[in-house]
Structure 1
C-alpha cells in the first residue's frame, strides 16, 4: 500500500482498498500509509476530484495528523514549545475538517472515525466527544482493535482520563469480543499503562502479579484461542502479551508470542530508550535465542 502511494498511483490506491474484505482491514491500512513522506501533495490533488468525500479526504486527514505529531514530537508536554503546539493544532484542525466531511458523507467510514479519535485527543475535545466518536465507529465495526487501543490511551490519566474509565472500557471490549478475536488484548494495554505510572519496584511487581489471571484469560480468549486466525493488528496483540508475560517471568507463555512475532517489535517496547535492545533481551530470556 505504501509503495502504491509513493508511486502516486491513485487508481492503484482505489483498487487496493476495494480489494480489502472488511472495515478492520481498510481502517488498518488507512492508518498505516501516513508515513509516506510527501504523500500529502499527491493526496491533496485527489481531494477536489472526489464527488463525495471519501478515501482521499480520509488519507490526507490521516497524513496531516502524522505531520502534526511529527512536529510536536513524543516528548512530554513541558518539553514542547509553544510554536510546536501551534503547528500541531493547525495540522489537526485541517485533518479534522477533511475527516468531518468524510464521515458526514459516509457515516460508515470507519477509517475516518478512527482518525477522528486521534484528532479528538490532540485537540483536547474531551472524554464525552471521544466516546461519541467511538460509538459512531462501533455501529459499523464493534470490535475494531486499533480504535479500541486508541480509546484506552484516550481514557487513561495522561490524557486527563481516569483509570476507572479506562478499565471499564477495556473490560467491556473484552467481554463482548468474539472468541479468537484480537480485542481481549486491550486489557493488557490498559494494565501496562497503569503499571508504567506506579512508583517503586515492589508495588510495580505486585500490580503485575495481581493482573496475571485477567491477562491469562484474555490470551486464552484471543490469540491463544483455537478460533484465532491472523488478522490485521496481530503484531500489536502478540507484542502486548509477550511484554506482559516477560515482565512477570512467565517465560513459557511469553515464548509463544515471541515465536509468533519473530523480529516484529512494536508498542510497548517503544517506551524504552533502546527499543530493539529491550525487545532482544526479553526475547532471549523467554526463548533462549
Structure 2
C-alpha cells in the first residue's frame, strides 16, 4: 500500500488529524496569492466593472489575459455585473468573453461535482442552458476579436460539458493553439478531453502528455501534464489496483523526468498560477510512495493549497495538511 493510501485510506473520513497540533489551517486562495488576481476578484465582487477592466488592461499578452478572465469567471455573482456592462457595450469583445467564461463556470456550478447519476433533471437543464448561453457569448467574442485566445480556451470546457464530438473538440483546441502554441491551460483541457472517462483512452492521454512536454522547451510548465495524466489514470482504477499502478518504477521515473523538465528545472519561471503545478506534482509523488520528492514541493508551497487534486479525497485542506505532515517525516 502506497504512502497516500496508508495516510488516508481510499476515502477521506473528514477527520482533521492536524487538530491539537497548533498548526494554522491553510485557506484556499483562488488568486494563488497574486496581487493582481486578488484586486481583480475584489473589483468584480464589489460590482465595479471599471476597476476590474483596469486590472484586465494590464495583462501581459493573451495567455495572461485568459488567466485573468478565468478569475473573473470563477467569482460568484460576476454574471450580474457583466450583464449590466454588456447592456451598455454589447459589442465589447472583452465583455463578451468574460460573460461567456462566467457562464461556463456557472453551468458547472449548476451541475455540481456529483456523479452524473446523482444530478437531477432540473440541474441538467440548467447546466445545458448556461452552456448554450456561454457558447453564444464566446463565439461573439471570437467574431468581434479573432485574435483572442480566450474564447477558444473556454469553448474547450463548454464543449466537453456539451459532449461535443471528437473532431469538433479537436478543432477548438487547435484554434487555441493557433493563437498561443504553448498555452498550458489549453493543453490541460485537451488532456481532459483525451481521458478515458470522456472521449479518449489511457494510451492517448499519456501519449499526449509526454509529446506535449517534450515539444516544449525545458523549464516550461508543460511537464505538469504528465503528473496530471498519472493522477487521472490512478483515479480511474479500482481500490485494489490504484496503488500498484502509480507505484510502478516507470511511473515514478516519468514523474521525475517531468518535474526535472518543469517545476524543478533551473529555468522554470513561476507564473501567477504556479501553485497548480506544484500541488499536482506533490500529490503525484506522495501517491507513488516518494515522500521526499513530495516534501520538497510542499515546502515551497507552504500554505498555497489548491482545491484540486486534493479534493478528490474530501476536504482538500485537511488532505493537504495530512499529506504534508506525513511527507515531512520521510
Same fold (TM over 0.5): yes
Indicate if the aligned counterparts of 1:152 and 1:169 stay in contact, CA closer than 8 A: yes
Structure 1 window deviating more from structure 2 (72-81 vs 255-264): it is 255-264
SS of residue paired to 1:158: coil
d(CA) in 1 for partners of 2:212 and 2:89? 35
d(CA) in 1 for partners of 2:75 and 2:319? 27
Match of 1:59 among 98, 110, 121: 98
CA offsets 1:126-153 (integer angstroms, 9 cap, x no match): 2221211111111121122222112111
Structure with a larger share of its residues in helix:
1
1:263 and 2:303 aligned: yes
d(CA) in 2 for partners of 1:130 and 1:63? 20
TM superposition score normalised by structure 1: 0.94
Indicate if the aligned counterparts of 1:58 and 1:99 stay in contact, CA closer than 8 A: yes
Match of 1:3 among 34, 39, 42: 42
The one of the two structures with greater contact order (alpha-carbon pairs below 8 A, sep at least 6) is 2
Residue in structure 2 matched with residue 244 of structure 1 by the alignment: 284
CA offsets 1:58-102 (integer angstroms, 9 cap, x no match): 111111122211111111111111111111000000000000011
Q: Which runs of 5+ in 2 are unaligned?
A: 1-39
d(CA) in 2 for partners of 1:164 and 1:288? 35
d(CA) in 2 for partners of 1:169 and 1:153? 11
Residue in structure 2 matched with residue 125 of structure 1 by the alignment: 164
* CA 139–248 in structure 1, closer or farther in 2 if over 3 Å, else same: same
1:78-227 aligned within 5 A: 78-201=117-240, 204-209=243-248, 210-227=250-267
Structure 1 window deviating more from structure 2 (227-236 vs 158-167): it is 158-167
Indicate if the aligned counterparts of 1:110 and 1:140 stay in contact, CA closer than 8 A: yes
Where has structure 1 moved over 6 Å in runs of 4 or more?
none
CA offsets 1:156-197 (integer angstroms, 9 cap, x no match): 122132222222221221011122121110111011101111
Indicate if the aligned counterparts of 1:114 and 1:147 stay in contact, CA closer than 8 A: yes
Deviation at 1:203, TM superposition (A): 5.5
TM superposition score normalised by structure 2: 0.83
Structure 1 window deviating more from structure 2 (18-27 vs 7-16): it is 7-16
Q: Which runs of 5+ in 1 are unaligned?
A: none
* CA 280–216 in structure 1, closer or farther in 2 if over 3 Å, else same: same
RMSD, aligned CA: 1.8
Deviation at 1:201, TM superposition (A): 3.6
Indicate if the aligned counterparts of 2:184 and 2:222 stay in contact, CA closer than 8 A: yes
